[in-house]
Chains A and B, each alone.
Chain A
Amino acid sequence: MTLLSPAERSYLRDSLTASPIIRPDSRTPHQFRPIEAKTSFLSSSNGSARVRLIDGSECIVSVKAKVVDLASVSNLVEVDIDVDSFRDDSNFVTNLKFHILNSLANFPSTVLKLTTKYGYKLFIDVIVTSHSSYPLTLISLATYLALKTARLPKLVSEVNDEEIAEQPTFADDWAESTLIQDLLDAPFQPPVLITLGIIGNNIIFDPSIEEEQIIDNSLVIGFYNGRVITPINTISLSSISNGVNSIVLVKALELGNKYGGMVVKALDTLIEQDIDDENIF
């Protein structure tokens, strides 16, 4: 990790605590770094997405559905994260997994139930091929895209298997597959996690690696259905750790409410425009 010199740290700190905030790349406080994204490039997965920042940070997510006996599993959504150069059991990876899994706690699992006995289990596998700043937001956006574009094959066997035990069978035609959204009455919107940096009384969205090193505290907020939802967590990205003051917390939630919707809208626009080809790069 790049270590900043004391002079850089104090320059950055002064710029970020100034009013108005001056970020090193001139971003407004609520501006994210630009993202490049591509969906549905893995033919062997139900859904896939690749998201990349301009600095090269990249995350690939696959969603695979597997038919399981509902009685044999405790949860229908499983998340696994692989970060280059981190052990699977490291705190870093465990925390990322915890946040993503937590954000999917309200996943509409009922749509995954095929029959009384069988259902889909979704395996969300995340690979972070490279990253500089904390990759949680990147993972969350990629997961959103992969889930939103995931297609499930159409069930052709009986839905009701209470009397006659029957293994579910599916239509071979991929064109008959459905999006998770089509199985729901309401629009399907997986929560998006946003990382906020707190410095003094200022708040910045999507801190870069340099900013991370001098902020007082970081906040992860979920955004769902047009507003900020719980859980809201503080995470420590820098060595400094000061408590979060309640005024700043309220401000952070306000900003989250105000700008979170834009992120979701941008993601949805990308899905609409994305062409169905399998070119990953």
Chain B
Amino acid sequence: MVLSNNYIISTLQMSKEEKKVKRRDFLFTASYVVGAVGIGAVIWPMIDQMNPDKAQKALATTEVDISQIEPGKSITVLWRGKPVFLKRRTPEEIQEARAVSLDDLPDPQKDEERVKEGKDEWLVMLGVCTHLGCVPLKDKGDYNGWFCPCHGSHYDVSGRVRKGPAPTNMEIPKFEFVDNNTIKIG
């Protein structure tokens, strides 16, 4: 402690060396700043390594053969580790979905917006409840659609939430018709 006291006294006496002190301050600040930048640059790889890796990112698409699905039936396929419902709807089901008034929906969305034009019978939808991620059961619930057993959310035949804690409709992934019998998801 003797030392640092000496130091304080000596710096007080060295008024003519104020410039030197300033340079010293600059030096210390610069060292800290440059050091901090380096630490930041080292932390990023440690965080980014937990993001999806290159192989995961490359597996973004799945092709599905839909030729075997009868009207009124649905299949479930895996895409990015999640279930995707592919339902071939009957004309009655489509009619039912379109007859619903938007005012009755917690998350208003027309059925037309949820299917591809001209392929109205095909509902392709991420089979994940928007509440907390469970997989809803088909042909259950009060609206002839899906019912999530975890916390009781009801979805209609267009996959729109009608009742329960789920905040939004089930998500429509990016997909396209490769030909009449094949859908490419992603």
A binds B: no
